[in-house]
Amino acid sequence: MARVMCKYHPQRTARWACERCRINFCSSCLSKENPEGPPACPLCREPALEVGTDDLVPPFWNRLPAFFALPFQAQPLVLLLVITALSALVGYRSFSALLMQLVLLLLFYKYAYTLLTHRARGHEQAPAVLQSLSGDGLDLALKQFVVFMVLFLPLAVVGAMLGPVAAMVYYMVVMLCLPASIMALAVERNIGAAINPSVLFGMIARIGVPYLALFFLLGILSSGPNVILDLLTERLGGDMLALQGMEEDEIDAGEAERITEAFMDKVFAIIIPVAVLLNGYFTLVMFTLMGYVLFQYHHRLGLAVDVDVEALAATDPAQTREHPLLGDVEALIQEGRLEQAVTMLRARVLQNRADRTLRDRFHRLLALTGDVKRLTGHGAEYIGLLLKGSDRAKAVQVWRDCIKAEPEFKLDSPDQVYPLAQTMFNIGEYKSLVALGNGFHKRHPGHADIPRLYLLVARALSEGLNQEHKALPILQLLAQRYAEHPIAAEVKQYLATVTTLTAKT
């Protein structure tokens, strides 16, 4: 089935549609002003209808290497190594040691469930270990054991009452539902959902045929530790295997005891710690896989995610998500409804006066429409905002747009002139600087910035425009009127330089 793409962002898959306008939109096209309920169509303002998103997330069978790699991220890797080391230090030969092993197991599964839910919400990076273990959720590991008991204890009853065939059928059904049970427990966090047939079969049905692929893949992964441990046991326990293959009359009791003790030492020192590490690794891989399946089919399952799903399916990987309050404005602009776009964006700028992105788009839109009054009114305020931030160069561009539309354009405050002039000088906008400073002393007589501003104008004329003959009278006037000003020494030095240059020409 062909993917339906957004009309205004052809590289993004459509998530919403307007039946009235017969237009498909991605989420970037729709305003997020009202988080409750469906967003409105930017053209007719009717509620948009959500369309399926099954093909947005890459299928899990295309992401298998990522699942095997995730336990090697710093956080889960440290957890695996620490759990393995603590398990080996605690030992396995006493009742208290077994209790400690149980505690370690519960902590590990607490992290595994956190990882599953974290991945289900779309996060690629594993969650932090300390944060995951410090919060609630330890009960999930205990609930999982209860779920296993509830699911598998009836097996003996079914076998006794209905026979071995019925028991086998029951076992196969339970095993088929087991991944769904784990995922339901992670999502719903209660035992009832994890053992409810309607919930489990409903989840399986909504995922569909890919669930069978998940089931068989999990079966293969779960057998991974056993295969590796069998090979390790065969290599380390050669003498023990040979002993087990001998007849009783061929066995020397003392030698048999020595071989058995040596093998058991290897079991506790090597094989069991390796088993802990392997089982932990493959468990994290399987839980990551199940979390990703929930993420892949979150739309069918009605689950919320934390990432921009459409960006995963964008044909242009460099395309970033639009501003949440600009998408519908851009749609209006592309439809030629400029006045409607201006009205909508103006209201949002008034509600979010410090939002630079909205301001910039509003300025460009006003320049496009040729609305001089709104352009200069907003431009004066926007320049003041820009001069207070780090992107003063943008303030120069806004000033140029405003002065082009209205030659008599003035800033909101004379205090903004010198900072803007400094920026112009720094980026080489010498002509703009001269135009900005022209007549400043007449419009604002006595202003404290007059000496500094006109020195900057003189420097722009001399250094930037090679017009020393125009800079010279300005410097002479500054030297005469501001002989006691802090910049007097700089003016005197610069005047000497310019005088020398003009004398040579």
Q: What is the pLDDT of residues 126-139, one digit of tens each?
A: 988 887 787 666 77
Domain enclosing residue 469, as ranges: 452-505
**Residues 14, 24: contact at Cβ < 8 Å?**
yes
What's the pLDDT score for residue 315? 45
Is the pLDDT confidence value at 448 over 90? yes
What's the pLDDT score for residue 1? 44
Is the pLDDT confidence value at 171 over 50? yes
* 402, burial (CB in 10 Å: exposed 0-12, middle 13-18, buried 19+): buried
Residue 18 lies in a domain: no
Residues 6+ away with beta carbon under 8 Å from 133: 107, 110, 111
Residue 445 lies in a domain: no
Range of lowest pLDDT (69-83, 156-170, 265-279, 353-367): 265-279
Q: 321 in the Ramachandran plot: left (φ > 0), alpha (ψ -120 to 50) or beta?
A: beta
Tell me the average pLDDT of the chain: 84
Residues 6+ away with beta carbon under 8 Å from 482: 451, 488, 491
Last residue of a domain, one of 301, 322, 337: 301
Task: Measure the CA–CA gap between 462 and 426, rounded to whole angstroms.
Answer: 14
List the strands of the sheet with 23-25, edge to edge: 23-25, 16-18, 49-50
* 96, burial (CB in 10 Å: exposed 0-12, middle 13-18, buried 19+): exposed
Residue 112 lies in a domain: yes
Cα→Cα distances 14→7, 218, 317, 477, Å? 8, 33, 16, 66
* Interval 215-237 mean pLDDT: 84
Last residue of a domain, one of 246, 281, 301: 301
The pLDDT confidence band at residue 375, using thresholds 50, 70 and 90, is: very high
Task: Measure the CA–CA gap between 448 and 436, rounded to whole angstroms.
Answer: 16
What's the pLDDT score for residue 230? 79
* Interval 455-482 mean pLDDT: 92
Angle at 452 between CA 451 and CA 458, to 5 degrees: 90
Residue 404 lies in a domain: no
Q: Let me know how many helices (H) and strands (E) the chain has, helices first.
A: 26, 3
Task: For residue 328, give the nearest of 13, 30, 18 by alpha carbon.
Answer: 30
Residue 275 lies in a domain: yes
Buried b (16+ CB within 10 A) or exposed e, 30-64: bbeeeeeeebbbbbeeebbeeeebeebbeebeeee
For a pLDDT cut of 70, what percent of the chain falls above it? 87
Residue 262 lies in a domain: yes
**Residues 301, 101: contact at Cβ < 8 Å?**
no
The predicted-structure confidence for 20-36, as pLDDT tens digits, reads as follows 888 888 777 776 566 55
Cα→Cα distances 374→147, 361, 368, Å? 66, 13, 12
Any idea what DSSP says for residue 389? Answer: S
Is the pLDDT confidence value at 108 over 60? yes
The pLDDT confidence band at residue 154, using thresholds 50, 70 and 90, is: confident
Residue 189 lies in a domain: yes
Residues 6+ away with beta carbon under 8 Å from 10: 315
Residue 444 CB neighbour total at 10 angstroms? 16
Q: Give how many domains the chain has, as a whole number.
A: 2
What's the pLDDT score for residue 318? 42
* Interval 422-427 mean pLDDT: 92
Last residue of a domain, one of 301, 324, 353: 301
Task: Measure the CA–CA gap between 73 and 65, rounded to whole angstroms.
Answer: 13
Task: For residue 175, give the nearest of 134, 216, 205 by alpha carbon.
Answer: 216
Residue 340 lies in a domain: no
Please tell me which residue, 336 or 382, carries the higher pLDDT value: 382
Task: Measure the CA–CA gap between 476 and 498, rounded to whole angstroms.
Answer: 10
Question: Is the overall model pTM greater than 0.75, yes or no?
Answer: no
Is the pLDDT confidence value at 421 over 90? yes
The pLDDT confidence band at residue 311, using thresholds 50, 70 and 90, is: low
Can you name the residues that pair with 47 across neighbouring β-strands?
40
Is the pLDDT confidence value at 238 over 70? no
- What is the length of the chain? 505
Our measurement of the distance from residue 281's CA atom to the centroid of its chain's CA atoms, rounded to an integer in Å, reads 25
The pLDDT confidence band at residue 501, using thresholds 50, 70 and 90, is: confident
* DSSP E strand stretches across 271-336: none
* 328, burial (CB in 10 Å: exposed 0-12, middle 13-18, buried 19+): buried
Is the pLDDT confidence value at 465 over 70? yes
